[in-house]
């Protein structure tokens, strides 16, 4: 009889004394689990004593009813059955294992081994099926968790990738902008300059002033740059509307400054150009001027006395604004412009945000207009004023050359209108055309915009004036809303009076408070001002100038373009400093398109227009007086003044002859005795302060 070998199963460590934190977590159920399944201590009640353990292993009977042994051997095989209580406990352990995240088969077997559960073939099959299901579930759960992890990883990587792409794109854009900006910077040897333009306006500088042999600097500037034979002003050809048209690219009817003086029926106020309390209110000025366009795009601007620049805009202001000073000497203007160019730029050492170097400098020069009004455009005095303006330009160009900026800074020289000589014989009495007591407001000058006290009287007064001027060739009469010439672009604004009397060039309308025309003629009184503008903007005497040179004008020297109107200047200046213009009436853009050179054989001859005849009964000047002349041949003063001699006293005629002789002597000395300086009657007055301001 073979001796049955007793197998000894190692005692599992008691759950009450876990050896590690992990084991403690493994064996300690939650309160919910304890309530549902019982505690670990309950699970081990059958193992409380060695005898009980032995009984379970051998299948021996104890105090109670017999219990089948778990590991009894029969024919070398282990036999046994689960008790209901054991099955329940095993199921609880498996459930707890799942709830606690146990995923290995070893954990389940360990619990079964602790209880000494026999592994019969049936139970093994059942256990295997359960294990397979558990493993399948665990695999699914593992795959789901992995998918979640990978999904999170992909989301994080996508976010990081997108961030890097945006960061790289921003870097490229920033780099490209910096590169583009750097590409436009040009060094003069000591500093870097962004696109920079100096815009000079010579108020009242008539186009044919260039042909009088008085402007060597301007004539050389034309030879080096690009220009038309003339530039047309806008109607009405007076200072404030035209300077603001050049600054905005808008017709006066569009920007709202329709004259030097006018009435606004909406606000019941009058605009008067020399009265800052009435003219510097922002509500008068529409459109967007150059200084606002540039500053809005972070291009700094300096404005020296340009009409309209002193209007305060709380949102956008130029970096520098100089108030109007009609007595400022021209040399001071040169110093002011050069001082701005000498400031450090953003890329230079010592740059100061509070004192930036401007890229646009717009300067206004009133001298030629002032002396043109005072003495007339063909006077001896105006000759010196023209020379002074030319000398001032020479100072600017010399300053640029000294700073090695000739090929770096653009220079554009313009004027706003021309000038016509007036005379007492070319006066029209207002009272001969209309009763002033019927008129509430008179706008403009020398053109007259009439606002009747009663709006219903407009048609009647229009017919009355037409009847009284039907035999006169020296005035035009228009209704704003009916027959105002379209080329004037002077009807689409309520600030434009409904009824207009527009004299021809050289003529003027006066009321009796200013003078009795018949009495003035009888007494031989001289009418002042001696020069007037404001007429038809296409008349030859109203022609202005445009000359440009610099990197924004890469044309052959002495290039010629077709004449254009000053509404196009705004776009040209914007393009020269690389800013985008606001909407405007101009269409011309850089680069300009030359039609040839000024020296070409098909270039129109220099034209020096003559003044109108002294009166309607005076014969027209001889053809020789009005034909074109070269700069060395033009003597417009002599031609025009000879016509006036018929109405002068012998003393006046002698005085004029003396002036002409002086001019001849001066020219003779300069031609035949280099270095000699003739005595010009106007030289002593050229630098005097307090020049008369006029529109």
Terminal-residue alpha carbon distance, the chain: 145
Q: At residue 532, what are phi and psi to the nearest 5 degrees?
A: -140, 150
CA dihedral 74, 77, 83, 88 (to 10 degrees): 180
Distance, in Å, from the CA atom of 278 to the CA atom of 284, rounded to the nearest integer, reads 9
- Residue that the structure tokens 């593992």 belong to: 142
b (16+ CB within 10 A) / e for 130-151: ebeebeeebeeeeeeeeeeeee
- Residue that the structure tokens 């199921």 belong to: 91
Distance, in Å, from the CA atom of 388 to the CA atom of 218, rounded to the nearest integer, reads 12
CA within 13 Å, CB half, 96: 26
Active site residue 239: yes
Q: Please, is 454 exposed, middle or buried when counting C-beta atoms within 10 Å of its C-beta (0-12, 13-18, 19+)? A: exposed
Query: Is residue 629 a contact partner of residue 210, using CB atoms and an 8 Å limit?
Result: no
CA within 13 Å, CB half, 145: 7
Nearest to 639 by CA among 649, 651, 631, 627: 627
Give, in order, the Cα–Cα distances in Å from 255 to each of 249, 286, 287, 483: 9, 4, 5, 22
Query: Is residue 245 a contact partner of residue 566, using CB atoms and an 8 Å limit?
Result: yes
Beta carbons within 8 Å of 574's beta carbon, 6+ residues apart: 290, 293, 294, 580, 581
Beta carbons within 8 Å of 222's beta carbon, 6+ residues apart: 210, 547, 558, 598
Set 196, 239, 385, 608: catalytic member: 239
- Cα 534 off chain centre by: 32
- Residue that the structure tokens 């109607």 belong to: 235
Give the residue numbers marked as catalytic: 239
């Amino acid at each position: 009889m073979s001796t049955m070998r007793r197998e000894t199963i190692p005692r599992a460590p008691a759950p009450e004394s876990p050896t590690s934190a992990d084991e403690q977590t493994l064996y300690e159920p939650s309160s919910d689990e304890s309530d549902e399944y019982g505690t670990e201590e309950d699970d081990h009640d059958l193992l409380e004593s060695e005898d009980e353990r032995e009984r379970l292993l051998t299948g021996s009977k104890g105090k109670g009813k017999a219990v089948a042994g778990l590991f009894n051997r029969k024919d070398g095989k282990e036999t046994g059955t689960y008790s209901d209580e054991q099955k329940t406990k095993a199921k609880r352990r498996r459930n707890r294992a799942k709830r606690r995240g146990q995923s290995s088969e070893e954990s389940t077997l360990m619990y079964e081994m602790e209880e000494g559960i026999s592994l019969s073939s049936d139970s093994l099959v059942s256990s295997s099926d359960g294990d397979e299901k558990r493993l399948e579930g665990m695999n699914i759960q593992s795959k789901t968790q992995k998918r979640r992890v990978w999904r999170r990883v992909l989301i994080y990587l996508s976010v990081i990738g997108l961030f890097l792409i945006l960061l790289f794109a921003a870097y490229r854009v920033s780099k490209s902008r910096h590169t583009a900006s750097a590409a436009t910077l040009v060094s003069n040897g000591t500093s870097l300059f962004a696109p920079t333009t100096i815009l000079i306006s010579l108020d009242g500088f008539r186009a044919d002033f260039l042909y009088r042999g008085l402007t060597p600097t301007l004539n050389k500037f034309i030879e080096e740059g690009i220009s038309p034979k003339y530039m047309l002003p806008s109607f009405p050809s007076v200072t404030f509307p035209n300077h603001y048209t050049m600054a905005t690219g808008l017709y006066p009817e569009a920007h709202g400054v329709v004259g030097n003086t006018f009435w606004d029926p909406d606000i019941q106020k009058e605009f008067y150009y020399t009265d800052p309390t009435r003219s510097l209110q922002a509500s008068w000025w529409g459109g967007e001027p150059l200084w606002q366009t540039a500053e809005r795009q972070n291009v700094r601007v300096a404005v020296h006395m340009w009409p309209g620049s002193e209007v305060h805009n709380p949102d956008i202001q130029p970096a520098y604004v100089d108030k109007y000073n009609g007595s400022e000497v021209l040399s001071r203007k040169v110093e002011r412009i050069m001082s701005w160019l000498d400031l450090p730029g953003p890329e230079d050492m010592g740059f100061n945000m509070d004192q930036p170097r401007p890229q646009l400098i717009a300067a206004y020069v009133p001298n030629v207009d002032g002396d043109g009004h005072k003495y007339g455009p063909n006077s001896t005095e105006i000759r010196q004023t023209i020379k002074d303006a030319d000398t001032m330009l020479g100072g600017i160009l010399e300053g640029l050359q000294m700073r090695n900026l000739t090929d770096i800074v653009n220079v554009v020289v313009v004027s706003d209108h021309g000038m016509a000589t007036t005379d007492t014989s070319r006066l029209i009495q207002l009272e001969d055309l209309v009763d002033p007591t019927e008129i509430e407001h008179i706008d403009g000058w020398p053109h007259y915009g009439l606002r009747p006290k009663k709006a219903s009287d407009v048609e009647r007064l229009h017919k009355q004036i037409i009847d009284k001027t039907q035999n006169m060739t020296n005035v035009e009469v228009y209704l704003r809303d009916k027959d105002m010439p379209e080329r004037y672009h002077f009807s689409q604004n309520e600030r434009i009076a409904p009824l207009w009397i527009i004299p021809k060039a050289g003529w003027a309308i006066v009321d009796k408070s200013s003078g009795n025309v018949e009495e003035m003629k009888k007494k031989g009184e001289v009418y002042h001002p001696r020069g007037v503008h404001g007429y038809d903007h296409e008349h030859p005497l109203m022609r202005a100038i445009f000359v440009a040179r610099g990197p924004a004008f890469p044309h052959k020297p002495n290039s010629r373009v077709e004449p254009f109107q000053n509404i196009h200047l705004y776009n040209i200046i914007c393009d020269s400093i690389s800013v985008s213009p606001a909407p405007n009436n101009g269409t011309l853009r850089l680069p300009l398109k030359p039609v040839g050179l000024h020296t070409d054989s098909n270039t129109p001859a220099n034209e020096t227009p003559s003044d109108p005849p002294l009166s309607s009964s005076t014969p027209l000047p001889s053809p020789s007086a009005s034909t074109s002349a070269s700069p060395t041949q033009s003597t417009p003063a002599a031609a025009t003044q000879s016509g006036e001699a018929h109405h002068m006293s012998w003393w006046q005629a002698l005085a004029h002859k003396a002036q002409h002789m002086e001019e001849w002597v001066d020219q003779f000395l300069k031609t035949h005795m280099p270095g000699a300086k003739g005595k010009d009657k106007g030289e002593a007055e050229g630098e005097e302060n307090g020049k008369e301001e006029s529109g």
